[in-house]
Chains A and B, each alone.
Chain A
Amino acid sequence: MKKMKNKIVLLITIISVILLTPNCSKDDLVLDQDYVTVSDLKHYCHCDRNTSIFFDTDVKTIIEQCNNKEVKVKGHIDNEFHKLFLNYGYKLNSFYLRDIRNRNSICICLNDDFICSYIDTIVTSQDSAIINKILNSNETDMCYIKGILHSYELPMNTSSKIEINILINNADDIFFKSDINY
């Protein structure tokens, strides 16, 4: 019976080690080389977990890993875009880019101040050109975006979360392809 207990303890230890290993692994991602998926980017920038005051003493370093970096990202334009366009027209200053494999999303901002809100802002010709490009694309097309990452801490009750936005200024930095290649 004692032998069996030891075997079970050993098994539980092995399973725990294997399960914890992926959380400790350090993956490197070149943000401005190949177009990365929304999920890859969110994981790389630590957006898929809560940061704890006990384990993440240096949240600033985590934020700096992505903040103000140029990034190339691919995904699908969120379904809500057309509804929001009906309400805000060309004053729409943000939309979401999604990974349809798991619903992960990133907010894409069209104005310079990194605020993905719908407060009245001046609509530039580039903003309108970006919106027109989206309106002329098919829902099934894969969207490729080049922009600047903005990473920040979102405080919650006892922990906090890292959030990211992408700023896009130029209509040349967004294009669509009909062949979906995740």
Chain B
Amino acid sequence: MKTTKIILIISVVICTTLAKTEIFAQEKSDIYLELSKPLLEYSLFNRYIFDAGTGYNAKINRLDVGASLNMTYSKLKGEYNTQTYFIKPRVNILLPIYGSNLTTFKIKFGLGYSVISINNKKYEFSDLQQGINAILELKFNYITKTRFDYYFIINYDYTFLNKDKDFTQLDYYRNIHLVSFGIGAKLKFYEKDEK
């Protein structure tokens, strides 16, 4: 308990110090944390609660190239409380389409392989499904003079599951379509940091 408190205090101190430092150098890379809520869904489950993700991007010319890990969670209400964990590691490319001193607008394309874990303790049921995953995301970024930037995202997330006759015999349910809206924060690293 004491160690957790110390780690938490140290993290807060580091983040506040970094956040208050005004930076004017060229941005080189960033790590980010985001949270989104699925608004539209076409899938067998039809009940996703939230999506949390983290990732790293490095600037290469005008593009941001990086990797991310997202997890979408859902749970059925009532007696059939089946839980679903949707784990999505991806490789991403971000393309800027508009930029000013205060805001940037980017499109993100991502490709990966996702794993879905479904389990129900009451019925002693568990299943694992997997398939390719792609994302198309619009990212509206608010630029601050601190280490942290904040952004809004709206994305379309598509998964095509591998064939498994026991899971479903219809191609319709092998497709998982999600449209989500969310917020995120990124911690920027500059060329100066790396020298």
A22 to B177, Cβ gap below 8 A? yes
**Interface-located stretch among B3-11, B15-23, B41-49:** B41-49
Chain B residues whose C-beta falls within 8 Å of the C-beta of A7 in the assembled complex: 97, 107
A18 to B127, Cβ gap below 8 A? no
Question: B61: CB under 8 A from chain A?
Answer: no
Question: B118: CB under 8 A from chain A?
Answer: yes
Number of interface residues of A (CB under 8 A): 30
B179 to A19, Cβ gap below 8 A? yes
- Which residue of chain B has its CB nearest to the CB of A15? B156
Min CB–CB distance A115 → chain B (angstroms): 27
| Complex-state Cα separation, A100 to B170, whole angstroms | 18
Min CB–CB distance A53 → chain B (angstroms): 24
Q: Of A34, A76, A180, which contacts B169 at CB under 8 A?
A: A34
Question: B29: CB under 8 A from chain A?
Answer: no
A103 to B136, Cβ gap below 8 A? no
Question: A173: CB under 8 A from chain B?
Answer: no
Chain A residues whose C-beta falls within 8 Å of the C-beta of B82 in the assembled complex: 100-102
Number of interface residues of B (CB under 8 A): 38
Min CB–CB distance B168 → chain A (angstroms): 6
B175 to A22, Cβ gap below 8 A? yes
**Interface-located stretch among A36-44, A84-92, A160-168:** A36-44
Query: Restricting to A98-138, which residues have a CB under 8 Å from any CB of B?
Result: 98, 100-103
Chain B residues whose C-beta falls within 8 Å of the C-beta of A79 in the assembled complex: 79
Question: B50: CB under 8 A from chain A?
Answer: no
Chain A residues whose C-beta falls within 8 Å of the C-beta of B179 in the assembled complex: 15, 19
Min CB–CB distance B93 → chain A (angstroms): 15
Chain A residues whose C-beta falls within 8 Å of the C-beta of B138 in the assembled complex: 11
| Complex-state Cα separation, A25 to B166, whole angstroms | 21
A22 to B166, Cβ gap below 8 A? no
| Complex-state Cα separation, A37 to B118, whole angstroms | 16
Query: Restricting to B101-120, which residues have a CB under 8 Å from any CB of A?
Result: 105, 107, 118, 120
| Complex-state Cα separation, A28 to B138, whole angstroms | 36
| Complex-state Cα separation, A102 to B125, whole angstroms | 13
Chain A residues whose C-beta falls within 8 Å of the C-beta of B124 in the assembled complex: 140, 180
Query: Restricting to A1-42, which residues have a CB under 8 Å from any CB of B?
Result: 4, 7, 11, 14-15, 18-19, 22, 25, 27, 29, 34, 36-37, 39-40
A residues contacting B by CB (< 8 A) are: 4, 7, 11, 14-15, 18-19, 22, 25, 27, 29, 34, 36-37, 39-40, 43-44, 76, 79, 98, 100-103, 139-140, 180-182
Given contacts A14-B136, A103-B80, 20 further A-B contacts (CB under 8 A): A11-B136, A18-B158, A22-B172, A22-B175, A25-B172, A29-B170, A34-B169, A39-B173, A40-B170, A43-B173, A100-B80, A100-B120, A100-B123, A101-B45, A102-B45, A102-B82, A103-B78, A140-B122, A180-B125, A181-B166
